[in-house]
Chains A and B, each alone.
Chain A
């Protein structure tokens, strides 16, 4: 009997241990005085905003200006924090998934809604968003609702770009081919019959990154899957962070 009792007790304790495991983080929970995504979305341009979100991407650190730009997301939407002042030490502490509280001003630049003149603090929490598959949404007017989110595009076909000599190429250094190795890469893909121009921004993915090498290896007609952030510049202008050739 004692043996059975001991076994039951052990089993109960084991169950308790499982139940005591770390609770799943509520990624939409906000601290006192922090806006929900809906409140942020409704806030007027130029108004003060306070948000909490999880870092999904960070641009290179600008030592000259002491700032960086951040892609962040919560469960409901995404934010772009433009040239957020920070020290190199704080920049190093910000990793993908880090939760930050940001106070700044909502602004719009060429269609890109962003937070400017921001201050921030790193707070407890971690979350890496699943990439939203926008393949079917690319031609839709609803695409803008997902601005700044981490996205995926599946089964795109590399379409030709024209270099300065009029040759068909798979990618260009700079938008018009006026750059060199190390500059931003621009390339076209066709999805569901429409062509889209994509960019590998070296501030986000440096010239020695895997995606930079992958785009340089592309050939016209390749079928590829892509990941990136849904940046906006006079229309959708995704900044690509990963390319997989099928």
Chain B
């Protein structure tokens, strides 16, 4: 009897051990509690991104303080990041040990990767619609937006695999910050909408030098007429404007096409002559623009406070700042009658936890980030726009926009022009399909521009063979042959390898034999 008992004990121990080998208990799908327990204390973490901007941090802190006043049983711990990539890496690292934050500023592209672990990110559709705690819900202690008051275009960007996994927080696009003074000095007049041809023509004309090697237009030894900050956006937007392939909702990689090559070839000569460069190769476009060393600087509208002679934020010595007129324009287009530009900016996702009440507390805080106070204050820190029509249409925000240029701080004209550019062109914005691997594809798009630019600067041969190798190298570097559409993971895994099948069979056989042996021993014992 003792033997049987110890055998059973062993069996249970082994079974428990084997089960626990699979890591911590997986998360059950989130279920909305009937009511929020206001007596229970919740402590949640919020990983936020700041553009290394103290005002943004202060707004987060105030939002948390105001929220905690409304919900004294929820404590929010703020963790500030300066880099979306670092947030992404830390979330990925923490998913496996179930230490994700509760609420996190992120990009939908990143969420697609988080979602490869099931039930890690909370689908928000049911929460949106919840009568008590949903958008505009009856039990909310704040005046948040209703579903219809979130700008539909921005909300659509948070849909992954047919469901909302995030809410938009702020939106921006890219703008071309132009040294209008230099354009006119070169004998050109800015068109209403920039074209790529115009920008490249003016950039080329600006390369003329005097006998001492100074550029005629600025009298300096340094001039990079055209600098692009984000070359991934550059390629994505040019492809969109051309109607060419990039990717699709199935996660198919379509970027390696003839139009991509044609676009890259368009920048070969400007790269060789140094009429064009990139942030990664040369440095921040704002630094060159403000020193009178750049004419067309393309950067995010969320970087507008750094752009121009009078910019409130400067990264170069005061003595180097040139005096010129800054124009804020749409990025260059191929078809000026149908402009297309990227929509970007932070979104917020909520992570699942074992305690549904904790998730509901997280959702309440995430939703609080959409109230007018937070939306308007944060949007004013940069050329962001609020994501709710409720904030965009309120008197306070309208007054802010109307006061463009009355000072060089809160109402800095370049910043407000950048925000208006997006407000007026929201319908012309687009986003790229989101899937597990879309972040890599984005990086690859930029890498191709960087590689061609560097090769031309280095005098390397850039011919048809170069492009064949470029496509091959970039595919390998970013593992673009291993991407997958959301929800397709299971089908694409294919059959189990033979070795795995053999191993599983061996384990099953071993357990069957152990079971038989135990039964026989038990039967023998009974007979005795």
Residues of A within 8 A of B (CB): 46-48, 64, 105, 107, 109-110, 117, 164, 174-180, 183, 234-235
Contact = CB atoms under 8 A, between A and B. Distances in A.
B50 interface: yes
B58 A180 contact: no
B69 interface: no
B54 A176 contact: yes
Interface in B480-504: none
Interface residues of B, number: 24
A242 to B, nearest CB: 25
B54 A177 contact: yes
Contact of A183 (B82, B316, B458): B82
14 contacts: A46-B454, A48-B458, A64-B89, A107-B281, A109-B282, A164-B54, A174-B52, A176-B54, A178-B52, A178-B54, A178-B80, A178-B82, A183-B80, A234-B315
Contacts of B287: 110, 234
Contacts of B19: none
A110 B316 CA distance: 10
B233 interface: no
Contacts of B80: 178-180, 183
Interface in B23-72: 50, 52-54, 56-58
Contact of B82 (A46, A117, A177, A179): A179
Given A109-B283, A179-B80, 19 more contacts: A46-B454, A46-B458, A48-B458, A105-B454, A105-B458, A107-B281, A110-B283, A110-B284, A117-B454, A164-B58, A175-B52, A176-B53, A177-B54, A178-B57, A178-B82, A179-B52, A180-B80, A234-B316, A234-B317
A48 B458 CA distance: 8
Q: Is the interface of A mostly helix, strand, loop or mixed?
A: loop
A64 B459 CA distance: 30
B458 A47 contact: yes
Given A64-B89, A117-B454, A183-B82, A178 B50 contact: yes
B205 to A, nearest CB: 23
A46 B53 contact: no
Contacts of B79: 180
B317 A64 contact: no
Nearest to B288: A110
A176 B306 CA distance: 14
Contacts of B56: 178
A117 B85 CA distance: 21
Nearest to B57: A178
Nearest to A47: B458
Which 5 residue pairs spanning A and B have beta carbons closest together? A178-B54, A110-B283, A164-B54, A46-B457, A178-B57
A50 B282 CA distance: 22
B367 to A, nearest CB: 25
Contacts of A105: 454, 458
Interface string B232-269: 00000000000000000000000000000000000000
A25 B85 CA distance: 43
Contacts of A177: 54
B81 to A, nearest CB: 9
A176 to B, nearest CB: 5
B73 to A, nearest CB: 25
Nearest to B316: A234
Contacts of A110: 283-284, 287
A175 B57 CA distance: 13
Nearest to B58: A164
Contacts of A164: 54, 57-58
A180 B77 CA distance: 12
B82 A174 contact: yes
A107 to B, nearest CB: 7
A105 B460 CA distance: 12
Contacts of B457: 46
Contacts of B282: 109
A175 B64 CA distance: 24
Nearest to A105: B458
A64 B284 CA distance: 23
B471 to A, nearest CB: 18
A81 B66 CA distance: 47
Interface in B499-520: none
A235 B317 contact: yes
A178 B56 CA distance: 8
Nearest to B451: A117
A235 B454 CA distance: 24
Contacts of B454: 46, 105, 117
A236 to B, nearest CB: 12
Contacts of B58: 164
Contacts of B459: 46
Interface in B68-102: 79-80, 82, 85, 89
Nearest to B274: A46
Interface string B282-302: 111001000000000000000
A163 B448 CA distance: 41
A221 to B, nearest CB: 25
B22 to A, nearest CB: 24
A2 to B, nearest CB: 74
A175 B54 CA distance: 10
A110 B282 CA distance: 7
